[in-house]
Chains A and B, each alone.
Chain A
């Protein structure tokens, strides 16, 4: 296995509790010790509900929020501290795709200038027009958009412009926060294909933060499930999707509606709401919503079991392997 490009060890992010950060108030842990290694060319998908800390993890990895504990290693070398200066080495080799591309653009800057900006900041010299047009082309954006302003772009075009900007520093890692949110089904495939192309061309790794499991299925090599800022399960994508071991993972997979009226669910969904991080449940934090809860779950927090190769799960009673299911009635593409 190739060495990790970037690795987080027990990364955590705390925010002060309450309106005034009194010394006595315990800080709230948005991210409570998540460890993850991303290898070159690997697509890691981070999945969880709102408030699970998935966006915070992506930002903490690039130093956009300051980690309050843990370690970040780039090519096996730990960052000396979490100062902005230290993160600069990481940022010059990574790019972030924001959840809402339009709000991440300067409304008064033309798309071409915006795409060139990261190069200038990274000290890679000014970019020639041909280079910028080349980047736009790689992202599938016609060069006639380069002289336009952000408001003249549709959602899909804005997404492509953001990808072109991300590519301008030839990143080794792209952190993509909900890259398909708000896109029509007819064009979200285009964005994902673009990721696959970029990976093929530059061996770029991706950390994709999403809650769209049907997309994850087609693109992920590795899946990480977060719940209340903790990792509850992680492993190779195919294994997680076909045989989830944590009841939360299973619940997430089952909550996704299947676009087939013949396979409607009739039973009501069992899951309630995500508890507040200000009042974390005792024991296993998922016990308040878990359909398989046992007395032990309420009192004792399960550790992250990593005995199995590449597969980790935090559950006292991991789900057994499912029996081979009946033939999956998925439709193949009629091309």
Chain B
């Protein structure tokens, strides 16, 4: 098996020493793999994604047993090393393409600036690379778009440009934080198709953060479910959607309107809110239909579910 591009073991992120946003996360993303992270707002999924690129604010303290990105130890890396990894090692696509670009510079200028490392190349060579990248992501008239400003493109087109920008960097890992939330369904379908093509043709590893179960099911190979800063379930996408091992995952699937037959009247919800991470016992116990005494007292163990290889969950009930 090839070495993972991103390898996390016991990774924790703490804001200001008072708020544990991510607690003891184990996660590996291998080359050519698309891994999804799902969870409600406040579950720590975006913090995890930003940590992978060293984009967290200074108050955030990252600790853990292992934190490797493309063969580099991120726990000991200084700022200069981190900066050199952004781009070649990992690149990110943000939720809102409209705010990801500078509004006062042309797209061509912004894309060319990304290639500052390639000092030996001439302007014309860079321009050729940029036009090719734009063409690869399906932008009509790519050469003409170089002189355009971000506001002149639609959200879907701009998200394509953002993906083209990451392609220019040839990253080993692409992190997409809610990449289609700001887009129409028709554009979403096209962007998902593009991401899958990227993986198939360039062998890029992709980490997708989303709370949109439809898109996760559509493109991911493996899925990790986050809740209150912890990964509470992880496994192959088929296993997660067919036979979820954690009651929280089951509850999320139950709430998904696209999976519910019309005419049931009232839609199900998960009552309550995501608690502050790092509580005693199972974090989901307060909202769980099956919660027992032991769920409130002791943290549930992380264990393999027998039906599918590689499918794990953190629940007392799946143990018995």
Contacts and interface: CB of A to CB of B under 8 A. Distances in A.
Interface of A: 49-51, 154-155, 182, 184-190, 192-193, 196, 211-215, 217-218, 238, 241, 251-252, 255-262, 264-265, 268-269, 271, 273-274, 328, 330-335
Contacts of A328: 261
B188 A189 contact: no
A50 B157 CA distance: 13
Contacts of B184: 49-50, 211
Interface stretch (B53-61, B86-94, B142-150, B215-223): B215-223
A256 B211 contact: no
A50 B217 CA distance: 25
Contact of B217 (A155, A192, A259, A268): A259
B303 interface: no
Most chain B Cβ neighbours within 10 Å, of A186, A190, A257: A186
A50 B98 CA distance: 14
B17 interface: no
Nearest to A182: B181
A106 to B, nearest CB: 24
Given A259-B256, A261-B241, A271-B190, 9 more contacts: A51-B154, A190-B269, A218-B267, A255-B188, A259-B213, A262-B238, A269-B190, A331-B253, A331-B260
Contacts of B218: 257-258, 261, 264-265
A265 B189 CA distance: 10
Nearest to B237: A261
Contacts of A193: 266-267, 269
Contacts of A333: 254, 260, 264, 268
B291 interface: no
Contacts of B261: 328, 330, 332
A188 B260 CA distance: 14
Contacts of A256: 185, 214, 258
A260 B257 contact: no
B258 A259 contact: yes
A214 B258 contact: yes
Contacts of B189: 255, 257, 265, 269, 271
Contact of B265 (A196, A217, A260, A273): A196
Contact of A188 (B190, B253, B257, B264): B257
Sort chain B's interface into a size bin: 35 or more
B124 interface: no
Contacts of A260: 217, 241, 259
Nearest to A242: B262
B186 A252 contact: yes
B192 interface: yes
Contact of A332 (B40, B155, B156, B260): B260
Contacts, number: 144
B251 interface: yes
A333 B304 CA distance: 26
Describe A's contact surface by its main secondary structure: loop
Interface string B198-217: 00000000000001111111
Interface in B141-183: 154-157, 181
Interface in B266-310: 266-270, 273
B165 to A, nearest CB: 19
Contacts of B41: 154-155, 184
A36 B148 CA distance: 39
Contact of A196 (B188, B220, B257, B266): B266
A155 B256 CA distance: 18
A262 B193 CA distance: 16
B241 to A, nearest CB: 5
B269 A186 contact: yes
A192 B256 CA distance: 13
A184 B212 CA distance: 8
Nearest to A268: B193
Interface string B223-266: 00000000000000110011000000011111111111110111
B242 to A, nearest CB: 8
A331 B259 contact: yes
Across chains A and B, which 3 residue pairs bring their CB atoms closest together, nearest first?
Answer: A189-B267, A257-B214, A214-B258
Nearest to B260: A333
Given A187-B269, A196-B266, A258 B257 contact: no
B186 A271 contact: yes
A325 B41 CA distance: 37
B54 to A, nearest CB: 27
A332 B254 CA distance: 8
A182 B41 CA distance: 10
B217 A214 contact: no
B4 to A, nearest CB: 22
A240 to B, nearest CB: 12
Contact of B257 (A50, A218, A265): A218
Interface in B101-117: none
A334 B249 CA distance: 13
Nearest to A331: B259
Nearest to A196: B266
A219 to B, nearest CB: 9
Contacts of A269: 186, 189-190, 193
A43 to B, nearest CB: 13
Contacts of B265: 196
A273 B217 contact: no
Contact of B216 (A196, A215, A259, A332): A259
